Chain A
Amino acid sequence: MSERVPVEAGVFTWPADEPRLLGSRCTNCDNHMFPVQDTCPRCSGGETETVELGRTGTLWTWTVQGYPPKSPPYAGDADPKTFEPYGVGYVELPGQVKVESRLTVNNPDELEIGMELELVLVPLYTNDDGAEVVTFAFAPTAKAASL
């Protein structure tokens, strides 16, 4: 199996069997943010701490990216002949924040507001060193998938 590397350091825990997104918590007002940022847009406070965000949540809204994004900035397959649409949504992590993420499901019939999701890593492209570059996505939990 080829080596896997994250799309960028500091976005999610790495290496990890069960990855978590890295966010920030405002030490003044408890507001949660993603990705990590050092000031708080809620209270304008200047002190935050890095936290691991929850792995599971519910789908708050979603769409499906139906056409190849411009590349750059997109690093995945943007070739119109082979491009595979991918889901995008906001996932509500209870008590924390809603994060924007790719979804592993791209079929509108299988996506529903409120469905339960969990964090996974998905391949994005192969870099010049032959390593598989991965980014994060949310997938239906085993429970949601069996419904």
Chain B
Amino acid sequence: MSNEDIAIVGIGMHEFGRHPGVSGMDQGVIAVRRALADAGVEWKDMQFAFGGSQAAGAADTMVSKLGLTGLQFINVMNGCATGGSALFSAYNSIKSGMFDLGIAIGFDKHERGAFRIDTKKHGLADWYGASGLALTTQFFGMKINRYMHEHGISDSTLAKVGVKAFKNGSMNPMAWRRRPLSEEEITQSAMLSYPLTQYMFCSPGEGGVALILAKASDAHKYTDTPVFLNAAVVRSRRFGSFEVMAPHLALEHGVGPTVDASKAAFEMAGIGPDDVDLAQLQDTETGAEIMHMAENGFCKDGEQEEMIALGETEIGGRFPVNTDGGCLANGEPVGASGLRQVYENVLQLRGDAGPRQVPGDPKVAYTHVYGAPGISGVNILSR
């Protein structure tokens, strides 16, 4: 892995959660200001921006608040991979040699309750939603139910992932849900989509994140603790994979986009799963974290049962996962969620994660997002 790549030299975040009276866009603007301050630069120094939200407006309109500097600003809208796609685009804009310094921005603000799915936007007919099938929560329930059947994951393990998430969230001042929950509280909350209960699911929320990227050779102009972006990959689904919002699945089975994105990212970075010190993995619900551990190559199918029982994915464990509380404790403002994972990894690699700092001086950190209609994004960072 070389540090000839791209450096993240500034990070900014607006608190995740519920913020009545603050628009999603304004949360993005605040995140940008914090990232600029972190890098010690000004908005006028930004040569380009990629930004997006799913439900809080066109990102490029934020220039009216940040400053009309004439920069190249491109809106990105790619579902749960919106942030990852903005980061991928920023990465390539510098890698290509066209720009030296720029910013990736993600923000969002969703209505309360489960996501309301516009079936037409997903290329689905009206009967699908009318019949009660257009719910992402059903997919997660069905995917983990099948996985538990095939690989022997227990209900208790589903709950333990939630316990860890809220414990980590309780140590994160930017997180939405900061009250630790017991295994019993999680197991006994309302059954939303069997076998998943209310506290096993994340909720749509609000928040914003901005990341400033620079040529690696310039990084020390901006920070003493640059973190390098060694891989940025986004992949869509292939035939035979099991994806959200699918009226049919093929009889033959293929791997999902996470497996493809992960392999490509490891190849790009020139490392393997054993080299990774910590990871932020898409945890739309607790079962997703479990399945994504295997899909990203960090264990074999079924090994999670023992790993989680032994506490290996805890902050002090062998392979910490979702150290900031993940989507479960932070909620999921779709446009910001993927960049939140990168923000956390930068803090961890800088050694700035406070009470939730992963011990042992971590050097390599991994992020993964997954979302409809079957898209995954992976980033590998190092210092």
Residues of A whose CB lies within 8 Å of any CB of B are 7-8, 11, 23, 31-35, 41-42, 60-67, 69-70, 72-76, 86, 88-90, 92, 95-102, 108, 113, 124, 135-136
Asked if A31 and B250 sit within 8 Å, CB to CB, the answer is: yes
Q: In the complex, what's the smallest C-beta–C-beta distance from A33 to chain B, in angstroms?
A: 6
- Return the contact of A102 from the options B114, B132, B239, B247 (Cβ within 8 A): B132
Asked if B135 and A65 sit within 8 Å, CB to CB, the answer is: yes
Q: In the complex, A75→B119 CA distance in Å?
A: 13
User: Which residues, 142 to 159 on B, are CB-close (under 8 Å) to A?
Assistant: 142-143, 145-146, 149
Q: Using A31-B250, A98-B249, A102-B132 as known contacts, say yes or no to A11 and B127 having CB atoms under 8 A apart.
A: yes
Asked if A63 and B129 sit within 8 Å, CB to CB, the answer is: no
- Return the contact of B131 from the options A75, A92, A113 (Cβ within 8 A): A75
Interface check B191, CB cutoff 8 A = yes
Asked if B142 and A61 sit within 8 Å, CB to CB, the answer is: yes
Asked if A88 and B133 sit within 8 Å, CB to CB, the answer is: yes
Q: In the complex, A37→B138 CA distance in Å?
A: 23
17 additional A-B residue pairs with CB within 8 Å, beyond A32-B248, A74-B129, A76-B132:
A31-B250, A42-B250, A65-B132, A65-B135, A66-B191, A69-B134, A70-B113, A73-B130, A75-B129, A75-B130, A90-B249, A98-B248, A99-B247, A100-B247, A113-B149, A124-B130, A136-B131
Interface check B325, CB cutoff 8 A = no
Asked if A69 and B142 sit within 8 Å, CB to CB, the answer is: no
Chain A residues within 8 Å of B114, by CB: 67, 69-70
Q: How many residue pairs at the A-B interface have CB separations less than 8 Å? A: 128
Q: In the complex, what's the smallest C-beta–C-beta distance from A141 to chain B, in angstroms?
A: 20
Q: In the complex, A96→B128 CA distance in Å?
A: 20
Chain A residues within 8 Å of B247, by CB: 34-35, 99-100
Q: Using A76-B132, A102-B132 as known contacts, say yes or no to A62 and B142 having CB atoms under 8 A apart.
A: yes
Interface check B116, CB cutoff 8 A = yes
Q: In the complex, A97→B247 CA distance in Å?
A: 10
